[in-house]
A and B are shown apart, each in its own frame.
Chain A
Amino acid sequence: MKKKNKSFESILARAEKLFDRGNYLLAEKEFEKAGKIEKQNNITEKLKICKKETENLKVKDLIKRARKYTKKKQLRNALECFEEAYTISKEDSIYERIEALNRILSDSDIEKAAGNAEAAGQYAKAAELYEKAFAGSKQDAHLLKRALCLVKAERYEEAVSVFKDLNLFDSCSLYNYGFALARVGQYYKCLKVWDDIAEKDNDFLEQKELVSSILADDVFDRFNSTGDFASLYKEGKYLLDSTGRQDLAELVEYCKYDWIKKLWTDEQYETIWELVFDFPATVEPALIALYAKTCFKLAQKSKTYTQSHTHLSNLSMFWLTAVYNCELSGKFSSEAKERENIRQKLIQMAESLIKKEVDSEDEIARLALTYWNIDNKLIKYIHALAGDREDTAHLVCTPRFADLFGKSAQILRLIKENKTFFENTERYLMTGCYYSTAGQSMYHLEARQYEKAFNTLPEVIDGDEFATYGMLKVKFFYGLYCLESGERQLKRCFDTVSALFDISSDYEKKLIEKAFECYELDELNRYEEALNIIYTKRPSRGIKEALSLLMSKRAIARYNVRLINNKTLNIILQKALALNPKNEHARVSLYDTKVDCELIALEKALSKHKMNKACKIVVESKSEKVRSCFFEFMEDTVKALYEMDMENEKKIFFLQDTYKWCARVDNSHSILHDINGMLRFLE
């Protein structure tokens, strides 16, 4: 009995020890042994704990294994582990894992089944299965496969509806989408999709050509049956551009104008402008009106700065041409006076539109107004010249319009043939110039964009009198700009300017006036250089006088800052005076300079006691100042000598010498009387 008790206790003790160490598996076995020997409540409880802990450990182990299987993509093994763990623990989280794995395995199975169906040529079935796979996976790859299977199953409508929502990049998808579109009659869309395929496979290119031809047939059919001119234009234009099918050209143009009509009603002026921006070689009056009105509406409507101003600058070109157009203005009224009033009303409307923008201190609008003013003035001349003649009425247009539609040469011929119409040569040349190759440069010049004007001058003028006039004028004004700003382009600007002065002496006067107004040395330098350039080519009286004055002014300015000495100043002044003997500025300056020179020489001679030389200077000088200086010196000398502590004999000797020198200069000067008095006293 004693032995039995001892054995029970030792088993229980071992069980407790294992339990405390957390070794529940072995503890459970020991507790079971102990329980068989003697039943105790305590042992039963411990056994329960051991069993629970053992199960927990097993679940943990199973989850660990399941994760390892998942990582290795052995999803079925993972599922088994999770299922076993769930059987033990009944935990919700494990159940969710099992559900997710089942879904994946199911999708995988569906995908596999779909793949098998596709491989077996059962495309409709495969498409259905891919749809199911997508329902589970929500992956676009499944939808794409479905769409491809639908194409193969010839269920094109469905294929298109699936493809249209997908982002397609690869050639296979793009081709099949395009093919499905073609099979449902959407040829234009098909070609647009196929345009994204980079491959240039011959079969594919042939097929593309075939679809293009089918589309062309379709466009012709729809042209006769439907009124969707926007689509017909777009599709026809696409074919025209991509295949060069010229048989579509007229249809496309026709549809374009019908579409424009619709766009005008819808106030879609931007689109209209895009459609008509490709200017044709010849232009109908109705098209001129369309350009003008679209520009007007856009300038009026445009919200953005750039848009509005592009149309503002185009407005004068088209608007004035339109309102002066014989055919268009003929519709204003049958009465000439009323017609003119309506024209002026329309001109005023556009001008107000531009001026409104100028009021907001806008630089580009200001430029547009400058262009407007030029065009408005010129078109009046051309209208007066050609507007009433049937053969020339079509030439009434603005210079930029003429350039755009190749009318410039005809207008220039018209101007040349009617030279006497213009009030003077310059008006004649200026009008022609805007229509010549120098026209653009003239616009810049009028806008005071001198550099731009100079840089846009035509490279070849080839004896054209109008372009030559433009070149001369631009060079002259750019030259003036250089004179004021200090740019060193004077030779290039002024070497041809004499020809401009021959056309109008106003330019010469303008330059001379400006030359007379300058005082700063830098400015004087530049003006003298410019006038010298001009003088060599055109020694006119005005230029001569201006150059002479500028030479003397500049010489004085240089002398004042000690850049030249008296001698150089004297030489320059003499030259200036030689150029223009009436140059009072040079004359006075030269006189003053001469006196200064004589005074310096006199002082030098006196200081060295070279009395003969001093007397000679004074005798030769016409300056009272020099005389006074000499006699002031003599008076001081005489006074000092007389008061000096010296023997009278010596004083008499020196006074007699002084008397001689003074008498040589002026034998009636009062100093002689004073010296005589002193001599008498000393004697």
Chain B
Amino acid sequence: MACAKGEKMNPYKILNIDYHADKRKIIVAVALAMREKNFSVQEVAIAQKEIMNPMTKAAHDFLQFIDVKPMQNQFAPIKQQKKKIVFDLNRLSNFDENS
């Protein structure tokens, strides 16, 4: 049952840490989360358990984070190729009611 709850939650969000956080940081984050009381004690405890277990952590790492860099790296450095336009905009009278 705890496992099902763990799957649904985002432990990184509950503990406000990123996936590089080491054990020490996790423990500090747990203490902070308990103090801030944004989540219940049970939720914080499950979050900690999920993050500390390498298998559930790996599953959460996969589910909770996205990596868009590989998609962006497909493009060459983005530069403007066309020559810049000179701003020269005069009001047209074509649409005036009396025209």
Contacts and interface: CB of A to CB of B under 8 A. Distances in A.
Interface of A: 151-152, 171-172, 174-176, 179, 182-183, 197, 199, 201, 203-204, 207, 210-211, 213-214, 216-217, 220, 223, 247, 250-251, 253-254, 257-258, 260-261, 264, 284-287, 289-290, 293, 296, 300, 323, 328, 331-333, 338, 341-342, 345-346, 349, 352
A102 B8 CA distance: 71
B56 A345 contact: yes
Contacts, number: 117
Nearest to B94: A201
A223 B66 contact: no
Contacts of B55: 338, 341-342, 345
Nearest to B87: A214
B36 interface: no
Given A210-B89, A253-B75, A296-B63, A247 B70 contact: no
Interface of B: 4, 7-8, 54-56, 58-59, 61-63, 66-72, 74-76, 78, 80-82, 84-85, 87-89, 91-92, 94-97
Given A257-B68, A284-B70, A332-B58, A204 B78 contact: no
A293 to B, nearest CB: 6
A284 B56 contact: no
A183 B84 contact: no
Given A182-B89, A210-B89, A258-B68, A223 B78 contact: yes
A216 B79 CA distance: 12
Contact of A257 (B54, B71, B89): B71
A183 B92 CA distance: 13
Given A250-B76, A257-B68, A332-B58, A349 B63 contact: yes
Contacts of A220: 78, 80
B2 to A, nearest CB: 13
A381 to B, nearest CB: 23
B7 A342 contact: no
Contacts of B85: 210, 213-214, 217
**Top 6 closest pairs, chain A to chain B, by CB:** A257-B68, A286-B70, A220-B80, A175-B95, A213-B85, A250-B75
A171 B58 CA distance: 59
A216 B83 CA distance: 11
Given A220-B78, A293-B63, 10 more contacts: A197-B95, A213-B85, A214-B89, A250-B78, A264-B66, A286-B70, A289-B62, A328-B62, A342-B55, A345-B58
A349 B66 contact: no
Nearest to A180: B91
Contacts of A183: 89
A493 to B, nearest CB: 45
Contacts of B68: 257-258, 260-261, 286, 290
